Amino acid sequence: MSHDPEVGGPGTADVAAGNGATMLASEPVAGPVISLRGVSKHYGGVYAVRGIDLDLYAGEVHALLGENGAGKSTLVKVLGGIHRPTEGSIVLDGEVVDFHSPAQSQAAGISVVHQEPALFPDLDIAENIYQGRYPRRGPRAISWRDVYANASKHLQELGVELDVRAKIDSLSVAECQIVEIAKALSLNARVLVLDEPTAALSAGEVEDFFRIVNALRARGVAILFVSHRLEEIQSLADRVTVLRDAALAVTAEAATLSREELIRHMVGRRLDDLFPKGEARIGEPVLTVRNLTRAGVFNDVSLEVRAGEILGLCGLVGAGRTEIARVLFGIDHADSGTVAVRGETVRIDSPTTAMRHGIAYLPEDRHGQGLVLDWNVASNTTLAVLRSLTTHGLIRRSREKRLAEGYVKDLAVKCQTVAQKVLNLSGGNQQKIVLAKWLATKPAVLILDEPTRGVDIGTKAEVHRLISGLAQRGIAILMISSELPEIIGMSDRVLVLHEGRVSGEFVRVELDQETLMAAATGQVTHDR
């Protein structure tokens, strides 16, 4: 790294305002590419961010951390020209600039890659990269040869092999993000803002992604990397800025802050135990799956979950984790194999039959599959158990309200009333509502698919505590997760999938990230 800001412990670094100036003074090479100076954005009396100072240098990866609502997105939008700061200024190459639109920010060399790529699904990769600014040959004609040649050149620079003629809707989320980054390259971006790029990626994809980010850093791009995942920050970032409650908590060298210190800065309190799977009495097998196969998706999968047990299911995206869950819940169908609940072989051909056998499934896509966003808390909570709330076929509203209020209390959902729309709740509270919906069905088997995706770190521990409590109540839990610390912290046993097959099974004492990764990437096949 070319710069050396004075940072001691978190205590001294708390004073971040003077940091930039100090760095400029002691830094003969170059000043920051872009700086935020005392940037605030408020709506009415509410500050989304307040008095933020931030410097981004060429060739650094600067991590931006913070809980949901801490102001990360707002800052990203200020840089991207979507929001104008109410106070403070943006300084680009030593000159104060004022972005009135995303186009102006882009023209100034700033590219923002949003968490959910904003691409045209029906167009191919090259068309997306050059959308709206196709290379031309002549006044009216687009030079398609240049479009495709340049697009593949940018993808090659990133070291990825993707067909530039592939349609976006045939790509994975990871690949879409690569396309976004290639687009940024084609714009000669000097500042690249990555807004939670890894949230939807599997462990293997994250590695590839880091390789790309490192390559960009080597090219001298200033990268602002927004993330929830602490371990990523420690392995990737040069410096880190933590926001808390709309204000700057700390800016420091990433290496100087431990994981625990980062968390403390984020939440302003100590979270001693992130993943508190408590002791639970492991009982009889509840779900027994034998040789389950769905052609071309997963093969010969056998597993067993006992009462009170949490079985972790991990693997790269595409390894067949969610696909197994979908078959167990009756959304897709198996080609062969058997499923037994409490020793009795059952035929599951629809979610309804799965529910009848006591299986519940918390899906990975909360907005798409878990909630009716336009509905209130009560209606969402009761959707799976409506019939039990009826007398003579009519829903008893009072019973519905009571049921929902009970779960809101049990799960400590933060909402005003159960008549509040779930759309207006935070990700963590929305996830609790989906969980409540399934708890209302009194399941014997609970399948959790990425239970804490997009959930802020404070609520995350709470969700883990809830899951642990459910296991203690004797529910058999099958938990799919891409986050290895979550798998390791929560699971009694872990099954690792690689390309649709079980590549390893580990008990709690054997668990560590390296072993799991090795199995997930197919490097080792653990004999069962």
Partner 1 sequence: MVRRLSVFGRWESFLLVLVVVTFLLGSASSSAFATSANLSAAAASYTEVALIALPMTLIIIMGDIDLSVGSVVALASTALGRMTMEGFPIGLSVVLVVLLGAIAGAVNAVLVVVLRLPSLVVTLGTLTLYAGLARVTLSAGGVAQFPSFVSNFGSGYLPGTLVPWALLVVVVAVIPFAVVLHSSHLGRQVFSIGGNAEAARYSGVRTERIRFVLFVISGCVAALAGLMLTARLNTASPDNGTTLVLTVLAAVLLGGVSVFGGKGTLAGVVLAIVLLAAVQNSLSLRDVNSNTQQIAIGGLLIFSVLATDGFSRLRAWLQDRAETGRRTGASAGMPGTREPVTTETAG
Q: Rounded distance, CA 435 to CA 444, Å?
A: 14
Q: Rounded distance, CA 470 to CA 309, Å?
A: 10
Q: Is residue 475 close enough to count as binding partner 1 by CB under 8 A?
A: no
Rank residues 76 and 511 by Cβ distance to partner 1 and give the closer one: 76
Residue pair 473/505 in contact (Cβ under 8 Å)? The answer is no
Rank residues 17 and 373 by Cβ distance to partner 1 and give the closer one: 373
Q: What is the DSSP letter of 319?
A: S
CB of 46 to partner 1, least distance (A): 5
Q: Is residue 179 close enough to count as binding partner 1 by CB under 8 A?
A: no
Q: Which of 134, 144, 210, 375: binder of partner 1 (CB under 8 A)?
A: 375
Q: Is residue 390 close enough to count as binding partner 1 by CB under 8 A?
A: yes
CB of 102 to partner 1, least distance (A): 12
Of 269, 273, 224, 272, the C-alpha closest to 245 is: 269
CA distances from 125 to 20, 120, 268, 409, 495 (A): 39, 9, 43, 48, 36
Q: Is residue 379 close enough to count as binding partner 1 by CB under 8 A?
A: yes
Residue pair 113/91 in contact (Cβ under 8 Å)? The answer is no
The residues with which 36 forms a beta bridge, in sequence order, are 54, 90
Structure tokens at 398: 């009072």
Binding mask 80-99 for partner 1 (x = CB under 8 A): ---x----------------
Rank residues 67 and 124 by Cβ distance to partner 1 and give the closer one: 67
Q: Is residue 202 close enough to count as binding partner 1 by CB under 8 A?
A: no
Q: Which of 135, 351, 406, 469: binder of partner 1 (CB under 8 A)?
A: 351
The rounded Cα 121 to chain-centroid distance in angstroms is 21
Q: Is residue 43 close enough to count as binding partner 1 by CB under 8 A?
A: yes
Site for partner 1 in 119-138 (CB under 8 A): 119, 121
Q: Rounded distance, CA 101 to CA 94, Å?
A: 20
Residue pair 493/507 in contact (Cβ under 8 Å)? The answer is yes
Structure tokens at 200: 């939807």
Q: Is residue 363 close enough to count as binding partner 1 by CB under 8 A?
A: yes
Of 167, 233, 209, the C-alpha closest to 316 is: 209
Structure tokens at 215: 């390559």
Q: Taking each helix axis as running N to C, give the angle between helix 427-439 and helix 397-410, from 0 to 180 degrees, rounded to the nearest 10.
A: 120
Q: Is residue 258 close enough to count as binding partner 1 by CB under 8 A?
A: no
Rank residues 111 and 379 by Cβ distance to partner 1 and give the closer one: 379
Q: Which of 26, 104, 291, 352: binder of partner 1 (CB under 8 A)?
A: 352
Which window, 111-119, 250-258, 286-294, 489-497, contacts partner 1 (CB under 8 A)? Answer: 111-119
Q: Rounded distance, CA 60 to CA 14, Å?
A: 20
Rank residues 55 and 323 by Cβ distance to partner 1 and give the closer one: 323
Residue pair 488/465 in contact (Cβ under 8 Å)? The answer is no
Which window, 123-131, 312-320, 377-385, 464-472, contacts partner 1 (CB under 8 A)? Answer: 377-385
Q: Which of 114, 190, 306, 453: binder of partner 1 (CB under 8 A)?
A: 114
Rank residues 382 and 503 by Cβ distance to partner 1 and give the closer one: 382
Q: Is residue 48 close enough to count as binding partner 1 by CB under 8 A?
A: yes
CB of 446 to partner 1, least distance (A): 14
Cite the DSSP H helix spans in 302-376.
321-328, 351-356
Q: Is residue 69 close enough to count as binding partner 1 by CB under 8 A?
A: yes
Binding mask 403-432 for partner 1 (x = CB under 8 A): -----------x-x--x----xxx--x---
Which window, 6-14, 41-49, 132-140, 296-304, contacts partner 1 (CB under 8 A)? Answer: 41-49
CB of 118 to partner 1, least distance (A): 4
> 385-401: string of b/e by CB count within 10 Å (b at 16+)?
beeebeeeeeeeeeebb
Sign of the CA dihedral running 515, 521, 524, 528: positive
Q: Is residue 171 close enough to count as binding partner 1 by CB under 8 A?
A: no
CB of 226 to partner 1, least distance (A): 11
What SS3 state is found at 395?
strand
Amino acid at 124: D
Q: Which of 28, 139, 343, 393: binder of partner 1 (CB under 8 A)?
A: 393
Q: Is residue 348 close enough to count as binding partner 1 by CB under 8 A?
A: no
Q: Is residue 77 close enough to count as binding partner 1 by CB under 8 A?
A: yes
Q: Rounded distance, CA 156 to CA 152, Å?
A: 6
Q: What is the DSSP letter of 389?
A: G
Q: How many CA atoms lie within 13 A of 399 on its CB side?
A: 12
Q: Which of 107, 118, 412, 507: binder of partner 1 (CB under 8 A)?
A: 118
Rank residues 1 and 118 by Cβ distance to partner 1 and give the closer one: 118
What SS3 state is found at 518?
helix
Round to the nearest angstrom and report the end-to-end CA distance of the chain: 46
In the complex, which residues of this chain contact partner 1 (CB under 8 A)? 43-48, 67-71, 73-74, 77, 83, 114-119, 121, 195, 244-246, 267-268, 329, 331, 350-352, 354-355, 361, 363, 368-376, 378-379, 383-384, 386-387, 389-390, 393-395, 397, 414, 416, 419, 424-426, 429, 437
